[in-house]
């Protein structure tokens, strides 16, 4: 066991267990719950910036680095510079959790990150011109020990000591108080929002109210179930038809016709044609003239202003595809009441 673990208190050392493989631990990432809570005056929380990127779990074990998406997809070829940075660490055995982002104008930009998400050849990824950064925020395994039962503050302290943060690696800093004031500041800066976490909480392999998503604007993932034909000089398609699952049925949430450039329209049309089907995948009637149906396999990130009373999206805009989300996991996000 490392000297970092040797420095733990007796109480914390008793919480350690021999770890399963890093890949097994990474298969159960902890997920945050959307919340409208604003009062954190009772304390016991820390606050991290909510980043507009994709989740990435990284494993270094037995001389090998593996970069894994939330769904277990291997991403070493997509982020070779992150692979290199983790392979160069002095610490030989760790599993960490974090978010990969790209920046535009000083802000994290999911649309820019899209240019990397489709690449699997490390040479093409390096030549893409899109710099990516890995913001690491949690530690699951260290030197053969499962540390998920340790308090979050302790895990973050171990994380800071275990890795050297330079190049594309970044340590996700936090604040110990603030709540509403920090969220107001984040929104004023154009950030996605905040993640509030129970400071002494364990790392749980499930969605938990110990981690709360506090968003500045509305947005979530939706399943693509069809599209409309383009009109006028438009190419590719007119709009994507979107849905979310509810009790195993794909419920229609509306269409999105903005947020695309020409290359995206053509690429998406190619993908859609490969998924063409004769029957609508939606449980609800979709009254779009000339609609084409596709098997519900693609997941799109959509920004919007609000939900209408009949469950439709108001002013939606396309932000990109999510390769790290399973269609069947996409449900309507409803804020947890404070």
Q: Which of 298, 304, 302, 231 is nearest to 268 (CA)?
A: 298
Strand 145-146 with 207-215, pairing:
unpaired
Which residue in the block uniquely carries the two structure tokens 């609800």? Answer: 284
Distances (CA, A) of 184 to 191, 211, 335: 10, 19, 18
Whole-number Å distance between alpha carbons of 156 and 137: 7
Whole-number Å distance between alpha carbons of 221 and 243: 9
Choice among 50, 197, 213, 255 that is catalytic: 50
Paired tokens of 293 = 């149906």
Strand 45-50 with 193-198, pairing:
antiparallel
Please say if 215 is a catalytic residue: no
Whole-number Å distance between alpha carbons of 133 and 253: 33
Whole-number Å distance between alpha carbons of 310 and 138: 39
Q: Give the residue ranges of DSSP H helices in 201-311.
A: 262-274
Whole-number Å distance between alpha carbons of 16 and 264: 48
What is the dihedral angle through the alpha carbons of 28, 33, 39, 42, rounded to the nearest 10 degrees?
Answer: -30
Residues identified as active-site = 50
């Amino acid at each position: 066991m490392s000297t970092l673990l040797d420095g733990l208190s007796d109480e914390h050392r008793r919480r350690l267990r021999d770890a399963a493989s890093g890949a097994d631990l990474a298969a159960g990432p902890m997920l945050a719950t959307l919340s409208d809570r604003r009062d954190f005056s009772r304390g016991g929380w820390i606050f991290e910036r909510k980043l507009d990127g994709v989740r990435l779990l990284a494993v270094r074990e037995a001389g090998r680095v593996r970069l894994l998406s939330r769904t277990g997809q291997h991403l070493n070829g997509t982020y070779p510079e992150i692979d290199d940075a983790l392979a160069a660490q002095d610490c030989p055995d760790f599993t960490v959790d974090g978010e990969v982002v790209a920046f535009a104008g000083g802000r994290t930009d999911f649309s820019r990150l899209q240019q990397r998400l489709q690449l699997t050849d490390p040479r093409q990824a390096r030549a893409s011109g899109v710099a990516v950064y890995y913001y690491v925020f949690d530690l699951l395994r260290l030197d053969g020990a499962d540390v998920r039962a340790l308090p979050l503050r302790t895990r973050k302290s171990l994380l800071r000591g275990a890795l050297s943060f330079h190049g594309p690696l970044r340590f996700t800093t936090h604040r110990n108080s603030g709540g509403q004031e920090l969220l107001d500041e984040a929104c004023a800066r154009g950030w996605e929002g905040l993640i509030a976490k129970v400071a002494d909480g364990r790392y749980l392999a499930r969605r938990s109210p110990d981690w709360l998503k506090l968003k500045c604007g509305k947005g979530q993932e939706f399943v693509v179930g069809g599209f409309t034909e383009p009109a006028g000089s438009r190419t590719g398609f007119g709009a994507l038809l979107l849905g979310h699952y509810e009790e195993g049925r794909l419920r229609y949430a509306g269409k999105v016709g903005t947020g695309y450039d020409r290359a995206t329209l053509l690429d998406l049309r190619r993908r859609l044609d490969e998924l063409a089907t004769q029957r609508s995948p939606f449980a609800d009637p979709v009254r779009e003239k000339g609609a084409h149906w596709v098997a519900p396999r693609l997941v799109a990130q959509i920004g919007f202003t609000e939900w209408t009373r009949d469950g439709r999206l108001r002013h939606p805009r396309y932000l990109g595809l999510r390769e790290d989300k399973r269609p069947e996991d996409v449900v309507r996000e409803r804020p947890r009441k404070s």
